[in-house]
Chain A
Amino acid sequence: MSDARDNGEHDKQQTSEAALSARLQRLGERLARDQASRPSDSPGADGGATASGYAKGFRLSSELVAGVAVGAGIGWAIDRWLGISPWGLIVFLLLGFAAGVLNVMRSAGVVPKSRLDGGWDRNEEG
């Protein structure tokens, strides 16, 4: 009971603060909405590609294949160069696969687009 009354007084004291936080929350929501709508016509999701699921699917699959292919190519080249066959191919094929998956997730918008304009740097600075 008394707790409730205390809380009521508390609320009265903090009305201005509450109003401020409500406004902040609304601003946050609006920013989130704006940011959610923006990627559709800029990096990663690219509006043109999402216009057609065919194009998007093709884009994702080509990202993955490119990752594996580049990894295998680099691994093969390192094997030839250092003569450590087949270890370079094994390691770089796996790393290439990881890079391909990263690319796919990035272009699908699951992970921050790229570390360059993504959240990691901003966290540090912010």
Chain B
Amino acid sequence: MQLNPVEQFEIHNMMPMVNMGGHQIAFTNASLYMLLIVAVASLLLVGGTARRAIVPGRIQSMAEMFYEFVAHTVQSSAGTEGMKFFPFVFTLFIFVLLANLIGLIPFSFTVTSQLVVTAALALTVFFVVVGYGFYKHGLRFLRLFVPKGVPSYILPAIVVIEVLSFLTRPLSHSVRLFANMLAGHITLQVFAAFIIMLAGFGVLGWFGAVLPFVMVVVLFALELLVAILQAYVFAILTCIYLNDAIHPGH
């Protein structure tokens, strides 16, 4: 039994290192779980839509619910034009959702509790926004940083603040998901460790252990909510940022 609450986040190398262009490429437990997530997502969606029944089965209706939910999210926050980014947002949502949910299975590894992973996802969104903004609007995209109706003597300061506020997006976008998952899993682990420690004290300890056990059950429900909520928040923030790239001046 691991009583160390942060041991669950350790990365282990699972295969001999491969040298690729001067870099050591390792296949770690994180890579394994990412592959697992992709496999589960493919199974769920490809398998679910393979039959294309008019009256959907359980898995098919789940796949359809995912589609409708994300499509609605994209449409309501990025407009109809945003639907060209639907595959991107859908992929992100399903990946984050499954990573969070699979991470909740005891003894499994949570990919989204690694800042590297969430930062990579958030930076992808950031560069897609910047790239598409400049591709679509050229230099007019920079009007995003120049609010109208601001007196000219404070405009330089406002522009700098707007640029900074734009640059903070990938950071807050990635840290939010990462910190939520990290904190949740540490809390769960700490309370679970209390059960084991208290149970070690004998019969009286067993009665005491009931309290952290109740906490673990309650926290697990909360973590389930957080896992789904954070995937949704990640997707909707992606939509909001994409909306800026699509309509930078409205």
Question: How far does the alpha carbon of A7 sit from the alpha carbon of B172 in the complex, in Å?
Answer: 60
B167 to A70, Cβ gap below 8 A? yes
Interface centre among A62, A98, A115, A120, by most B CB within 10 Å?
A115
Q: Quick check: A42 and B76 within 8 Å, CB to CB?
A: yes
Question: Is A43 in contact with chain B by the CB < 8 A criterion?
Answer: yes
Q: How far is the CB of A58 from chain B (nearest CB, A)?
A: 6
A48 CB to closest chain B CB (Å) equals 4
Q: Once the chains are docked, how many angstroms separate the CA of A102 from the CA of B145?
A: 13
Other-chain residue from B149, B165, B179, B180 in contact with A67 (beta carbon distance below 8 A): B165
Shortest CB-to-CB span from A95 to chain B, Å, is 6
- Chain A, residues 59-75, CB within 8 Å of chain B (1/0): the string is 10011011101110010
Interface range, A side? 35 or more
A58 and B76 contact, CB distance less than 8 A: no
Given A55-B230, A67-B165, A99-B164, A116:B144 Cβ within 8 A? yes
Kindly state the interface size class of chain B when it binds its partner.
Answer: 35 or more
Note all chain B residues with C-beta closer than 8 A to A66: 168-169, 171-172, 175
Is the CB of B208 closer than 8 A to any CB of chain A? no
CB within 8 Å of B: which A77-118 residues:
92, 95-96, 98-100, 102-103, 106, 114-118
| B186 on the A face (CB < 8 A) | no
Answer yes or no: A123 CB below 8 A from chain B CBs: yes
CB pair B233–A62 under 8 Å, yes or no, is no
Contact with B along A34-50 (1 / 0, CB 8 A): 00000001111010110
Segment of B35-43, B106-114, B236-244 in the binding face = B236-244
Specify which chain B residues have a CB less than 8 angstroms from the CB of A52 in the assembled complex: 225-226, 229
Instruction: Answer whether A117 and B243 are a contact pair too, CB < 8 Å, given A42-B77, A48-B236, A59-B233.
Output: yes
Q: Which of B149-178 contact A (CB under 8 A)?
A: 149-150, 157, 160-162, 164-165, 167-169, 171-172, 175-176
